[in-house]
Amino acid sequence: MAGWPVQEFLRLTGARVPIIQAPMAGAGGVALATAAIRGGAVGSLPCAMLTPDQVRAQVAEVRAQAEGPLNLNFFCHALGEPPDDSEWRAVLAPFYAKEGVGPPETPPPLRAPFDEAMCAVVEEVRPELVSFHFGLPETRLVDRVRRAGALIIGNATTRAEASFLTDHVDLIIAQGFEAGGHAGYFLDGYRPEGTLALVPKVALDADIPLVPTIAAGGIADAEGIAAVLIAGAGAAQLGTAYLHTPEATISAAHRAALGEETVVTNLFSGGLARGMRNALIDAIGPVHPSAPRFPYASAVLADLRRVAEADGRGDYSPLWAGQAAALGKPLAGDPLESAQALTERLAREVVELLGELP
């Protein structure tokens, strides 16, 4: 049993190494997923902000450049009726005045939940894996994804969420509070647990049937990967480590800030997510009661982001990163390490640490 989680992860996914490149909207895409796959990992495309046609096109690009397991990631939130955002606009009024803009007349598209159209794309492009954040979509959609041949990955932030997911998924992400980006809680609110505390609860709990666990949060080097494998995980999902690679599509301001303090904030989407401090967080605090619920808080920030980013500033942008961002920095003076080289190096160093994979 000691080696079952890792070997089962590799068997199920077809990956050569126990690593998933995390889907990161605004930071990941075709180049990053392709490089991770070439390095032996599972590559991921973030799809919550894409149209069905864009998903089709990106999958085709990845398939043309690499052979290996591809994961498509979707969100499962409920949009509901748009909330009243007048209080949020009032909070942002001084920033509008400072930057010489106002709330956008035509807000950009919101993050969209997984629906019939996206399910049809999954059935068409047939990825090896499909992962869901914020719970799962309707059972009929999950069933269609499974019939399309995809392994299904759910995200849990607590033991209770993992137990709920067990009967519906093939792999479970145990997401610790150290992780960058959105916390994927969906049952009982935000109840943060550390990765190394959560992984054994999910992976080794006798009451949870055997489903390989993927550890996520605070893992950016070989020592971190080895630690979660020893703790019972079958693989590690790395996001922030890949932000240092040239394939990451983050801004220069975002890249320059990697390794600075991170906080959990609701300012940029309305959902709780971990990222680095910036001017807006410093001015009004990381969590503000006037920010509309996820994903609506982002809409009225659009023009503030636009003008600041045009000046090379990330003052109003989400600079998502996990607590281990500094661990992924290249040595001083070294060129950026490609995502493929990073994946291969981490896998090699894990074997050197453990002697062999568990």
Full DSSP string of 317-349:
S--B--TTGGGGPPPTTPPPPPHHHHHHHHHHH
Strand partners, 71: 44, 129
Q: How many residues make up the chain in this entry?
A: 358
What pLDDT, on a 0 to 100 scale, did the predictor assign at position 330?
A: 57
* Residue 40 in tokens: 């032996």
Report how far Cα 207 is from the mean position of its chain's Cα atoms: 27
Q: What is the pLDDT of residue 50?
A: 96
User: Which positions of the chain have pLDDT values less than 70?
Assistant: 1-3, 206-209, 329-335
Name the pTM for this structure: 0.95
Q: What is the pLDDT of residues 7-35, one digit of tens each?
A: 999 999 999 999 999 999 999 999 999 99
Phi, psi angle pair for 213, to nearest 5° = -100, 135
Position 2 scores a pLDDT of 47
- Would you put residue 232 in left (φ > 0), alpha (ψ -120 to 50) or beta? left
User: How do residues 254-303 score in pLDDT, each as one tens digit?
Assistant: 999 998 999 999 999 999 999 999 999 999 999 999 999 999 999 999 99
- pLDDT attached to residue 253: 94
Q: How far apart are the C-alpha atoms of 129 and 159, rounded to whole Å? A: 23
CA gap 354, 335 in Å, rounded = 28
Please report the pLDDT score of residue 333 as a whole number: 46
The confidence score (pLDDT) of residue 217 equals 98
* DSSP code of residue 152: E
Q: Are 126 and 148 in contact (CB under 8 A)?
A: yes
**Count of beta carbons in the 10 Å neighbourhood of residue 116:** 13
Count of Cβ atoms closer than 10 Å to residue 331 Cβ = 6
Cα 228 to Cα 197, 216, 280, 305, 358: the distances in Å are 10, 9, 35, 37, 11
Burial 293-305 (b: 16+ CB within 10 A, else e): bbbbbbbbbebbb
